[in-house]
Amino acid sequence: ITGTWSISIDDDSSDDSQSDSSNDDSQDHDCDSCTTDQLTEVLTACTDWYVEKLERNTNNLEDNYTAYRFNFMADGSLMVNTGSSTLTGSWEASGSGNNIQVVLTVAELTDIEDTWTLHEIELYQGESNVDLRINGEDRLRFQNNCTLGDFGGGNSSGEIDFNIFFAAPEDFSELTDDWNIISYSANKIELIDVSGGDGETDLLTFEK
């Protein structure tokens, strides 16, 4: 039996951030409860981020950055390996929720250097995405083949969704849902789902 799982931070809209369209979801608000700490944790936990999507003024520019790898440091410095040289810059995030501003400064990369708004953080099985926008039109999405680095222990506010999907068998349909993480450790994760209809609460625990 095979299925899929993903983790999304406050992704409660119908946005498909894998879409190539820059404005099909420009009015969605997918980061109501995102924080700069969450963003910092994701960006600094993984190395060698690459540009999966870059749109400026309706131009698709990601192919210009195929070899580029971005490393975000906790001290706010930014290192970019172009494949033939190393560029240095800085990054800074401020604000909260849908108003988190991410300032990227790399003088040599005029397509990327700007003040972006955090649109969404997605953490899939073996893949992480940080989606940035400017006025719902220009778009920059960093992608990485690592998943969030530290699930070693702690508690969640319940705003992190653990999404599970099984197409079959029917017995597994009860597991298919967008669960909220209520606690996790190295050996155990506890999930909760509250029905939007009657308010019924379901609990799901995985242990190893």
Distance CA 114, CA 110 (A): 8
pLDDT band at residue 154, thresholds of 50, 70 and 90?
A: very low
Torsion of CA 100, 101, 104, 110, to 10 degrees: 130
Helix/strand/coil for 40:
helix
pLDDT reported for residue 145: 86
Of 143, 181, 148, 187, the closest CA to residue 164 belongs to: 181
The string of pLDDT tens digits covering residues 88-136 is 999 999 998 889 999 999 999 999 999 999 998 887 666 788 999 999 8
Cβ–Cβ < 8 Å for 15, 25: yes
DSSP secondary structure code for residue 36 in this structure: H
Tokens 């906790």 appear where? Answer: 74
Global pTM value: 0.64
Strands 138-144 and 101-105: unpaired
What single letter denotes the amino acid at residue 61?
L
pLDDT band at residue 21, thresholds of 50, 70 and 90?
A: very low
Cβ–Cβ < 8 Å for 106, 112: yes
